[in-house]
Amino acid sequence: MSIPFIDLQAQRKRIESEINTAIQSVVESGRYVLGPEVTELEKQLADWCGASHSVSCANGTDALALALMAWELEPGDAVFCPSFTFVATAQVVPWLGAAPVFVDILPDTYNMDPAHLRKQIEAVKAEGKLSPKVVIAVDLFGQPANYPELKAICDEFGLKLIADTAQGYGCTLNGKHPSDWADIATTSFFPAKPLGCYGDGGAIITNDAKLAERIESLRVYGKVTPTDAAERNFHH
Ligand SMILES: *Cc1c(COP(=O)(O)O)cnc(C)c1O
């Protein structure tokens, strides 16, 4: 008997009629992009993490890229990534001209080693070619990274922290969600991920209202945000 590694049909069969009804209602509504169902999903994603904001997007890779775009990363900036993760975690960094710097993983969790992160930050600073800006921690196999230690290091060096939780959305550490420590948590709804969809999808989760607003703008070609409109700032 062969057992599929990932059996997407088992879940589909269990909730088949609910799914069919929901898809049919979207088809009939004519609201195919960022409709009311997406707004409801964003609310539920944030609520689940006890966070204030969620912004959905095309996939987990774009979620990471949007975070880096919101912080205006540029050539000469360093982003620290674990050396063991799906390629997307590091791939987005050169999209903005910045440089990924790889950090070793721990032998028991396969997640980023805080002690080696500190070493790599110090090495980059000593070399003086790149400026440390962002750390992307990854929650592999549903297991959160060591956020208390990673966050303390980020605070010490003035770095932003992303929790790439594409393989661990919903995970907690000491009763807290990755978004409680990270400036932004990102996730993917690729079908085989812990929270998969029927196609591609992704989202960011944050407790920073300004950052959520900025990412919502970047998601739609840099549209004017409510803050921009209030301040009559159309610079971007
Ligand atoms: C899958 C994955 C991504 C990218 O998500 P996509 O939706 O496939 O773009 C990013 N990071 C990790 C850790 C992933 O597993």
Question: What mean pLDDT do residues 180-200 have?
Answer: 96
pLDDT for res 26: 96
Q: 164 CB less than 6 Å from ligand 1?
A: yes
Indicate the CATH number of 34-222 among 3.40.640.10, 3.30.1360.40, 3.40.50.12780, 3.90.1150.10: 3.40.640.10
pLDDT for res 176: 97
- State in Å: Cα 64 to ligand 1 middle: 9
Q: 61 CB less than 6 Å from ligand 1?
A: yes
Percent of the chain having pLDDT more than 70? Answer: 100
Cα→Cα distances 73→109, 122, 181, 207, Å: 29, 20, 21, 21
Q: Quickly state the pLDDT bin for 19 (edges 50, 70, 90).
A: very high
| 70 three-state secondary structure | helix
Q: Go through 102-133 and write b for each residue having 16 or more CB atoms within 10 A of its CB, e for each that does not.
A: ebebbeeeebbbbebbbebbeebeeeeebebb
> 190, 195, 197: which to mutate for ligand 1, most atoms within 8 A of CB?
190
Atom of ligand 1 nearest to the CA of 64: 10
pLDDT for res 236: 66
pLDDT digits (tens, 9 = 90+) for 128-164: 999 999 999 999 999 999 999 999 999 999 999 999 9
- State in Å: Cα 212 to ligand 1 middle: 20
pLDDT digits (tens, 9 = 90+) for 56-94: 999 999 999 999 999 999 999 999 999 999 999 999 999
Q: 139 CB less than 6 Å from ligand 1?
A: no
pLDDT for res 113: 98
